[in-house]
């Protein structure tokens, strides 16, 4: 790795089928342990517009939302600027509060990392950029909150809670919850 290039191996890799963001475990080389990477897949024209606004600043807010089908954890990853009270680009990631979900989860990996990498793919799955951000997002708080909630869950379905989330939680309310969670300026 002394040639200035970054190599990473695919580990259970499946590129997301749609535009959006996922948190995914990867290996940077065969000797390393897996770590969590945010993967953003977006149309190339939108990526260029996002990049034209200056160096990317990744903000992440998190929390728990109540739905008629039970609680659900969320991450809201967003990029400035704020236009008319909303971020220029914003992506939701859902998290199950079930305790067995966190044993080797990408969220736990991300919470324990000193830095988080963001891989940006275009709609043709071409890698546009890989950026490293210092991890000051407080993801362990979400893990602890989910653990507290998990103690009281019975007959819980993450799939049903996720569906309820999208129909019951207005985006403005989610943005307000995430905005109030402090992330790096």
Q: Give me the residue spans of the domains in the chain.
A: 21-180
| Per-residue pLDDT tens digits for 16-56 | 568 899 888 887 777 778 888 999 999 999 999 999 988 99
Q: How many CA atoms lie within 13 A of 8 on its CB side?
A: 18
Indicate whether this model's pTM tops 0.85.
no
| Per-residue pLDDT tens digits for 70-123 | 999 999 999 988 888 778 888 989 988 987 766 568 898 999 999 999 999 988
The answer to whether 76 and 82 have CB atoms below 8 angstroms apart is no
Any idea of the CA torsion for 156, 168, 76, 35, to the nearest 10 degrees? 20
């Amino acid at each position: 790795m002394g040639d200035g290039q970054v190599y990473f191996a695919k580990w259970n890799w499946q590129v997301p089928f749609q535009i959006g963001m996922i948190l995914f475990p990867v290996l940077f080389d065969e000797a390393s342990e897996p770590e969590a990477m945010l993967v953003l897949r977006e149309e190339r024209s939108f990526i260029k517009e996002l990049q034209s606004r200056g160096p990317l600043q990744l903000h992440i807010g998190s929390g728990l939302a109540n739905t008629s089908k039970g609680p659900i954890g969320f991450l809201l990853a967003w990029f400035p600027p704020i236009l008319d009270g909303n971020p220029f680009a914003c992506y939701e990631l859902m998290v199950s509060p079930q305790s067995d979900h966190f044993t080797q989860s990408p969220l736990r990996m991300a919470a324990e990392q000193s830095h988080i990498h963001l891989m940006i793919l275009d709609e043709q799955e071409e890698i546009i950029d890989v950026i490293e951000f210092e991890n000051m997002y407080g993801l362990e708080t979400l893990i602890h909150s989910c653990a507290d909630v998990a103690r009281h869950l019975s007959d819980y379905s993450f799939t049903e809670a996720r569906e309820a989330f999208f129909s019951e939680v207005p985006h403005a309310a989610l943005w307000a919850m995430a905005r109030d969670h402090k992330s790096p300026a």
